[in-house]
């Protein structure tokens, strides 16, 4: 690949240092993804600069105007603490006619809003758990059409924010409690879905028009107590001690029921297109013991840490980490943003 000027766009508190020496594991964990990406891009010979974004776009704009990066490597997941605002930053890049990695603003908007994306998926007859939305500020009514156990989560948050064992509810009292928790503590509308018991599978996709599907990855819940529902709570996803204690890990899915892999492949591609995604994404699925597949959500711009699922599953497909980053930049450069039709 030609040597590029790469502007890595990160959260202002996550600008990684050049070297890891002198930092504790805990400190490194905060910006490991940012470090993995910038250090690997540098090793590949690219000219790399980092810009931190908090609540202003001035510095980003100045860097783009003065330095003229070939590509912005987008690692931003929020703007001013608001997770749904990352799409506006990407829209800003597009208005500046700045090529960027990852998903376009429309795909970000459609996939981030879980209720909206489920409506779109339902239109395309892509199976997703039955659901209803409890808006903030409206009176609670029992969800009569849904069958318990139910699962309560935020309509927009990710990384399992607000997800704990108490998210699985068996009766109306518990449902009301958890809906109020999401409204008050998480600060968003609540999405209530039928609880799908089964294996949890992740499928990575990259591409704009032509799509590459990565090997099916599985969240293995290890020896978590039988009494606890096997779900990816915040602890399961992020607490390393907890993961070691119970043998929680992710790995290539083995022994899938017949036909499931083909279904996952087809569904992942259809979801990607239905939600207008580009760049790269990871779909979360559950498959029941009868082999019925449901999509839980589509994640645009999934975590790119070298040791996390997306990069790991790429590696399993023979795509090394540096090659993966190169492909994501290639996709960013070739993405046919609206402005290209007018200005080339």
Ligand X SMILES: Nc1ncnc2c1ncn2[C@@H]1O[C@H](COP(=O)(O)OP(=O)(O)O)[C@@H](O)[C@H]1O
Taking CB under 6 A as the criterion, the residue among 196, 206, 306, 324 binding ligand X is 196
Q: Does 296 bind ligand X (CB under 6 A)?
A: yes
CB of 15 to ligand X, least distance (A): 25
* Distance between CA atoms of residues 100 and 85, nearest Å: 16
Choose the one of Mg ion, ligand X, none that binds residue 195, judging by a C-beta under 5 to 8 angstroms depending on kind: ligand X
Q: Do residues 196 and 288 touch, judged by C-beta distance below 8 A?
A: yes
Residues 6 or more apart whose CB falls under 8 angstroms from that of 21 comprise none
**Region from 39-47, 54-62, 190-198, 334-342 binding ligand X, contact rule CB under 6 A:** 190-198
Query: Of the two residues 16 and 129, which places its CB atom closer to ligand X in the complex?
Result: 129
Taking CB under 6 A as the criterion, the residue among 112, 213, 286, 327 binding ligand X is 286
CB of 196 to ligand X, least distance (A): 4
CB of 190 to ligand X, least distance (A): 12
CB of 86 to ligand X, least distance (A): 14
Query: Of the two residues 115 and 211, which places its CB atom closer to ligand X in the complex?
Result: 115
Choose the one of ligand X, Mg ion, none that binds residue 151, judging by a C-beta under 5 to 8 angstroms depending on kind: ligand X
* Interface ranges with Mg ion (CB under 5 A): 284
Question: Counting beta carbons within 10 angstroms of the beta carbon of residue 118, is it exposed (0 to 12), middle (13 to 18) or buried (19 or more)?
Answer: buried
Q: Does 200 bind ligand X (CB under 6 A)?
A: yes
CB of 297 to Mg ion, least distance (A): 5
Q: Which of 106, 59, 52, 103 is nearest to 79 (CA)?
A: 52
Taking CB under 6 A as the criterion, the residue among 79, 92, 100, 195 binding ligand X is 195
* Alpha-carbon distances of 77 from 202, 267, 322, rounded to whole Å: 20, 25, 22
Restricted to residues 109-168, the positions that interact with ligand X (CB under 6 A) are 129, 151, 153, 158-160, 163
Restricted to residues 232-271, the positions that interact with ligand X (CB under 6 A) are 232
Q: Provide φ and ψ at 72, rounded to 5°.
A: -95, 125
Chain Cα centroid distance, residue 76: 12
Query: Of the two residues 261 and 284, which places its CB atom closer to Mg ion in the complex?
Result: 284
3-class DSSP state for residue 94?
helix
* Distance between CA atoms of residues 233 and 128, nearest Å: 19
Residues 6 or more apart whose CB falls under 8 angstroms from that of 290 comprise none
Q: Does 309 bind ligand X (CB under 6 A)?
A: no
Q: Does 284 bind ligand X (CB under 6 A)?
A: yes
Query: Of the two residues 77 and 284, which places its CB atom closer to Mg ion in the complex?
Result: 284
Query: Of the two residues 98 and 128, which places its CB atom closer to ligand X in the complex?
Result: 128
Q: Does 77 bind ligand X (CB under 6 A)?
A: no
Structure tokens at 340: 């290209």
Q: What secondary structure letter does DSSP report for 183? A: I
CB of 161 to ligand X, least distance (A): 6
**Region from 67-75, 94-102, 192-200, 272-280 binding ligand X, contact rule CB under 6 A:** 192-200
**For ligand X, how many residues bind (rule: CB under 6 A)?**
17
Q: Enumerate long-range contacts of 335-341, CB under 8 Å, 24 or more apart.
A: 335/99, 335/104, 335/208, 335/278, 335/279, 336/208, 337/94, 337/97, 337/99, 337/104, 338/94, 339/94, 339/97
- Helices 114-123 and 105-112 meet at what angle, rounded to 10? 90
Residues 6 or more apart whose CB falls under 8 angstroms from that of 23 comprise 17
Q: Do residues 32 and 20 touch, judged by C-beta distance below 8 A?
A: no
**Region from 5-13, 195-203, 239-247, 258-266 binding ligand X, contact rule CB under 6 A:** 195-203
Binding site for ligand X (CB under 6 A): 129, 151, 153, 158-160, 163, 193, 195-196, 200, 231-232, 284, 286, 296-297
């Amino acid at each position: 690949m030609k040597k590029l000027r790469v502007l890595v766009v990160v959260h202002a508190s996550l600008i990684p240092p050049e070297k890891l020496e002198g930092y504790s594991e805990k400190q490194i964990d905060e910006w490991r993804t940012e470090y993995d990406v910038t250090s690997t891009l540098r090793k590949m010979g690219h000219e790399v600069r980092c810009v931190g974004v908090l609540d202003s776009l001035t510095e980003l704009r100045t860097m783009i105007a003065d330095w003229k990066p070939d590509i912005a490597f987008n690692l931003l997941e929020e703007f001013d603490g608001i997770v749904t605002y990352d799409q506006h930053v990407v829209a800003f890049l597009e208005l500046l006619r700045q090529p960027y990695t990852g998903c376009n603003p429309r795909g970000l908007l459609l996939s981030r809003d879980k209720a909206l994306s489920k409506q779109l998926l339902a239109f395309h007859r892509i199976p997703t758990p039955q659901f209803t939305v409890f808006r903030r500020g409206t009176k609670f009514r029992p969800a009569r059409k849904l069958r318990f156990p139910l699962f309560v989560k935020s309509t927009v948050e990710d990384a399992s924010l607000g997800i704990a064992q108490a998210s699985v509810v068996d009766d109306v009292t518990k449902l009301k409690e958890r809906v109020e928790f999401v409204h008050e503590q998480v600060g968003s509308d609540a999405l209530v879905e039928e609880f799908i018991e089964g294996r949890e599978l992740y499928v990575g996709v990259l591409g704009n028009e032509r799509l590459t599907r990565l090997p099916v990855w599985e969240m293995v819940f290890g020896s978590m107590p039988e009494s606890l529902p096997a779900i990816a709570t915040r602890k399961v996803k992020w607490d390393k001690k907890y993961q070691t204690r119970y043998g929680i890990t992710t790995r290539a899915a083995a022994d899938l029921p017949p036909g499931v892999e083909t279904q996952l492949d087809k569904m992942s591609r259809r979801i990607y297109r239905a939600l207008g995604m580009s760049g790269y994404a990871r779909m979360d699925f559950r498959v029941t013991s009868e082999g019925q597949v449901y999509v839980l959500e589509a994640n645009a711009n999934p975590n790119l840490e070298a040791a996390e699922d997306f990069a790991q599953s790429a590696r399993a497909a023979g795509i090394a980490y540096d090659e993966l980053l190169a492909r994501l930049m290639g996709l960013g450069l070739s993405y046919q943003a609206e402005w290209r039709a007018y200005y080339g």
